[in-house]
Each structure stands twice: as structure tokens, then as C-alpha cells.
Amino acid sequence: MTQQQMLPYRAKMQMIFQDPYASLNPRMTVQQTLEEPIVFHNPSISGSEVKDRVAGIMKQVGVDPKWVDRYPHEFSGGQRQRISIARALMVDPEFVVADEPVSALDVSVQAQILNLLMDAQEQRGLTYMFITHDLSVVRHISSRVAVMYLGRVCELAPTTSLFESPKHPYTHALLSAIPDLYDHRHKYIKLKGEVPTPIDLPPGCVFHGRCPHANERCSREIPALNHQGQGVYVACHAIEERRLK
Ligand code: SF4
């Protein structure tokens, strides 16, 4: 697509970044930050309508509209992330990529921001692609999870089935790392070796140097992401060869 053809789609796709302080322009007030995308995509919109939309979205994300002339440094981390979410929602997107949107925040603020994102999803029918390393956040917010290792998807499954019956050896190891205070027999899977450098990926399955089930095929052939039924996809030779269930 040309830039012109892409334009209507850009408004439908928005992004929320990890560090709200770095992703907001420190020289722009909240008003300027929030009106920029909407004026860009609707050049004919009137000034009063822009003001109303800015005030409305601020209320929705829980930031007092009377602070509209303040700069990012005058807000707390949680408030700044609320403003980033407001900026993404200004153009009524359908799809939002949220890249570690709560990992820079305190735990108590994390819960508020997650609830805000889930409310916005319900009210606006949004689809999120939520990128995070925090498994409790994944479990709380997702309906479908893709587990990645060194940039490749190893398993893609509905959230409940992924947490209750993981298939891929890496997913097993990942979930076993969640501490369980009540189960003293809880077994952690200790992976051997180090994570290879992402700029020089190993051949075959990128996990083969650390996988307890690796065989010779794993070191030369990249496993395909195969459908296992019930919406579960796994990329693993051991599962394909029925060495693993
Ligand atoms: S393809 Fe081989 S190395 Fe990769 S996860 Fe499966 S068994 Fe392990």
C-alpha cells in the first residue's frame, strides 16, 4: 500500500508503549498531545469539537480535564500512562498494540491501568495485542496467548488451556517458574545453558540447546507451528513425533 492508502488503517491501529514518560513529548501539553492525532486524521474537525473530545477521553481514562494544560513531568507514572492510553483511543482504533504497558508502574497502579484497559476494551470492542513478560498479567487480560522464544512463536493457545495444560517444553519451563506458596512439592524446571544471542540464532529449533527433549532433527530443522486441535498450535518436533504429549 502507498502511504495514502495506509492512512485510514493507521487510525484503526494504535500503540501504547512501555515507558509513558519517554513516549510523551515533554514539550507538549496534554491538550496538544491528545488533539494531535485527531486533527491529523480529521483536518476539518472544529476546535470546539476537539476540546470536547479531549475532555471526554480524559474523563474516561480517569485524568481530571482541568489538567489539560499541564506537561508530562507534572503527572505521576500512572497518570502519564493513562494519558498515553487516551492518546491511543483518541482516533477510535479497533486494534491496539500494548507493549509492556504496565511493567514500568507500581503494582497497585498496574491493577488500575489493567482495569482501565479492560473497561475500554469492553466499551469500544477493542482488540489488544498485549506484549508482556508478566505471566499473571497475561492470565488476567488475555483470551489467547502466544509464547515466544527468541522471536519465534513456540505455542499459541487459548489462555485457560495454555495455563492448565501447556504443551511446548519452553512453556512448561516458563510456567514452572511461577512460585507456588502453598505447594511445597512444586517442581521448577531448570533449563541448562544460556539464551543464545538474538543476532546469531542457532539453526533448527532455537530452543534446542536448552531443551531436555531435543534430538538431532531439532538442531537442523525449524519446527512448524502445527494445529493440535481446540485452537492450540505448537512448534515442536517432539510433539509431532509423539515423543511428548
Ligand atoms: S523442537 Fe526439539 S528442541 Fe525444540 S522444543 Fe521441540 S523437542 Fe525441544
- Alpha carbon nearest to ligand 1 atom 6, residue: 236
Instruction: State the burial class of residue 238 (Cβ atoms within 10 Å of its Cβ: 0-12, 13-18, 19+).
Output: buried
CA of 142 to the centre of ligand 1 (A): 26
Q: Which residue has the cell 470536547?
A: 52
Q: Using CA atoms, how far apart are residues 139 and 69, in angstroms rounded to an integer?
A: 37
Tell me what pLDDT residue 183 has. Answer: 79
Tell me what pLDDT residue 179 has. Answer: 83
Q: What is the pLDDT along the chain (245 residues), one digit of tens a residue?
A: 999 999 889 889 999 999 988 999 999 999 999 999 999 999 999 999 999 999 999 999 999 999 999 999 999 999 999 999 999 999 999 999 999 999 888 888 899 999 999 999 999 999 999 999 999 899 999 999 999 999 999 999 999 999 999 999 999 999 998 888 887 777 888 899 899 999 999 999 999 999 999 999 999 999 999 999 999 999 999 999 999 88
> What is the position in ligand 1's atom list of the atom closest to the CA of 208?
3
Q: Please give the domain boundaries of the chain with CATH numbers for all domains.
A: 3-136 (3.40.50.300), 144-240 (no CATH)
What sign has the CA pseudo-torsion 118, 124, 127, 131? negative
Residues paired with 147 in a beta bridge? 155
Residues paired with 97 in a beta bridge? 15, 129
CA of 59 to the centre of ligand 1 (A): 49
Q: Taking a C-beta distance cutoff of 8 angstroms, is the pair 16, 98 a contact?
A: yes
Tell me what pLDDT residue 182 has. Answer: 85
pTM score = 0.88
